[in-house]
Amino acid sequence: MSATGQVIEVTIDPKGQSTVQTRGFIGPSCRQASWFLEQALGERTGEQLTPEFHQQESTPQRLTQRP
């Protein structure tokens, strides 16, 4: 894995079929990260979403008290 834990893996089989798999991305950020590869490889024939896709990025919450 990379230092950030995000990986894009491209596999091309002997028949020329390619697979793009992302790891370590939360929510739809994986689509943004792999978009350029999908464009270069051609038309998408399928998609399988991981459990991470359905997660939401956590954002720090700040609580303030009013007097």
Report pLDDT digits (tens) over 35-59: 999 899 988 888 888 888 877 765 5
What average pLDDT is seen over the chain?
Answer: 83
Question: What is the reported pLDDT for 56?
Answer: 72
Structural domain harbouring 22: 1-42
pLDDT at residue 7 is higher than 80:
yes
pTM over 0.75, yes/no:
no
Residue 35 lies in a domain: yes
DSSP three-state, residue 30: helix
Residue 47 lies in a domain: no
Rounded-to-integer distance, Cα 20 and Cα 2, Å: 17
pLDDT at residue 5 is higher than 80:
yes
Residue 48 lies in a domain: no
Residue 63 lies in a domain: no
* DSSP conformation class of 28: T
CA angle 26, 29, 31 (to 5 degrees): 120
Number of domains in the chain: 1
Rounded-to-integer distance, Cα 17 and Cα 14, Å: 7
